[in-house]
Structure 1
Amino acid sequence: MSSTVGELLDSLPAAATQDERRGWAVACAQALGLGGIAVALGQQLVWFSDETSARLEDLQFVLGQGPSQRIQDETEVRQLPDLGRLLVQQWPQFTAEAEGLGIAALFVWPVRIGAVQAGTMTGYRRTVGPLTEQQVAQGQLVADTLAQHVLSHWPTTHVGNGSGHPGAVDLHRAEVHQATGILSVRLGVSLSEALDRLRARAYASGLSLSDTAHTIIQRELPR
């Protein structure tokens, strides 16, 4: 490992660009012995190291199932060291999709802001096996650091999937919420039902939720 977790925690720039944040997350994942990590706060994906991590979070949001869902008031990491063996009964759709991405193990840390659990940090591996006690503890330090960074920069959040502004936190599902509103008006249904239909459309098409939302929004733009 080129850097220890301790060194990485001290190296995140206060005004990091999106590329710098992505590189920092990649380094953290490697230091923790993971293939990648992603952080979600509520229904917002705010940080991820690679496209596979983002896709895993997307799948859980689309399907409404997976290890990061309904992880409330938990104080320790949720370890799923053998995805196929542990999840095939509980989350069959998610398990099949995750295994299709070559994922063998998943680990979920609670992300806390003060005493409040605000979201999760999910890491994956392509090989089975549990984390060491040190990796569990260091992963929580990374999750807490990310939470504080997001909290510090949330008021100046740049909405969108572009390059962002230095120090800003990108809301990677901003277009999802915009497309949900469009579908709600177009179909005359509630926002909840519109989101369900958007999820179903994304799953059926095989596209990511963000790409599906972007397509819907583009259709509404004047020609």
Structure 2
Amino acid sequence: MSVHDLLVGLERAVEAGERRVWAVRCAHALGLGGIAVSLRWGTELVWFSDDVSARLEDAQFTLGQGPGVAADLGAAPYQVPDMGVGAGEQWPQLAAEAQALRVRAMFVWPVRSGEVRLGALTGYRVTPGPLTARQAADGLRVADALAGRLLAWRPGADGSTDGPGEAGTVDLHWAEVHQATGVLSYRLGVPLDEALVRLRARAFASGRPLTEAAREILRELPS
């Protein structure tokens, strides 16, 4: 299925609750293993096609490093055609995580409305190499279409029964992370930014996803 056909069928796929199927097909049409969309420079995962995509986004958020959280996406897409060359020096922990996931290349397109950047569309491949010019252009079309969809979305507006952690969902996947950050901020008497850094460090030190570290803190709250 072509990218054009997929974009035409985006609304229908959302209405039918087939976000994951659509995202997987879209990734394959772009020559990718998977895709994910995060808002606010990687601080909120809202759409992903598969477990590897979700884990890559979680790793970037936890570590605070990687192409998906890069502030400058003026030259779109941002391409890392070989995570084993150069990426290890720039993003050492992320490069190690990518290697564990057998990810060899990453590509990032801005999700934007006009000049306002809402977030990023990140794709990965298990083989090294740059995108073709057609793939790069098609990725921008997909990112623009998803920006429109995300701007129109409201929680529960489409009748979805998906929830955080479900592949393909449009939801606040890291809502518990933000809640736990607030708890730590109050408990430790530190600003929210510092509390998030401490939560990330806790997750990294324990080798667990950030969401699991957040749930542990929330479970400690009195019922």
Query: Is the pair's TM-score, using the shorter chain for normalization, greater than 0.5?
Result: yes
SS of 1:171's equivalent?
Answer: coil
Q: Is the Cα–Cα contact under 8 Å of residues 73 and 117 in structure 1 kept in the other structure? A: no
Match of 1:185 in 2: 186
Compared with structure 1, are the counterparts of its residues 12 and 128 closer, same or farther at alpha carbon in structure 2 (3 Å cutoff)? same
Compared with structure 1, are the counterparts of its residues 221 and 40 closer, same or farther at alpha carbon in structure 2 (3 Å cutoff)? same
1:211 aligns with 2:212: yes
Between the two proteins, what is the percent identity of the paired residues?
55
- Find the aligned partners of 2:32 and 2:222 in 1 and give their Cα distance: 41
Match of 2:164 in 1: 161
SS of 2:86's equivalent?
Answer: helix
1:170 aligns with 2:168: no
Residue 26 of structure 1: which of 24, 27, 33 is its match? 24
1:169 to partner: Cα distance:
3.2
- Deviation per residue, 1:134-164 (Å, 9 max, x gap): 111111111111111000114767996176x
Question: Which stretch shows the higher mean deviation, 203-212 or 70-79?
Answer: 70-79
1:193 to partner: Cα distance:
1.3
1:14 to partner: Cα distance:
5.9
Q: Which consecutive unaligned segments of at least 5 residues does structure 1 have?
A: none
Match of 1:108 in 2: 108
Compared with structure 1, are the counterparts of its residues 18 and 38 closer, same or farther at alpha carbon in structure 2 (3 Å cutoff)? farther
- Find the aligned partners of 1:169 and 1:201 in 2 and give their Cα distance: 27
SS of 1:26's equivalent?
Answer: helix
- Find the aligned partners of 1:69 and 1:162 in 2 and give their Cα distance: 20
Compared with structure 1, are the counterparts of its residues 162 and 52 closer, same or farther at alpha carbon in structure 2 (3 Å cutoff)? closer
1:221 to partner: Cα distance:
4.5
Q: Which runs of 4+ in 1 moved over 6 A?
A: none
- Find the aligned partners of 2:24 and 2:48 in 1 and give their Cα distance: 8
Match of 2:198 in 1: 197
Match of 2:10 in 1: 12
- Find the aligned partners of 2:89 and 2:150 in 1 and give their Cα distance: 35
Q: Is the Cα–Cα contact under 8 Å of residues 13 and 19 in structure 2 kept in the other structure? A: no
- Find the aligned partners of 2:188 and 2:200 in 1 and give their Cα distance: 15
SS of 1:99's equivalent?
Answer: helix
1:16 to partner: Cα distance:
2.1
Compared with structure 1, are the counterparts of its residues 176 and 14 closer, same or farther at alpha carbon in structure 2 (3 Å cutoff)? farther
Q: Is the Cα–Cα contact under 8 Å of residues 25 and 48 in structure 1 kept in the other structure? A: yes
- Find the aligned partners of 1:73 and 1:154 in 2 and give their Cα distance: 27
SS of 1:68's equivalent?
Answer: helix
Letter in 2 for 1:199: R
Compared with structure 1, are the counterparts of its residues 118 and 92 closer, same or farther at alpha carbon in structure 2 (3 Å cutoff)? same
- Find the aligned partners of 2:222 and 2:14 in 1 and give their Cα distance: 32
Q: Which consecutive unaligned segments of at least 5 residues does structure 2 have?
A: none
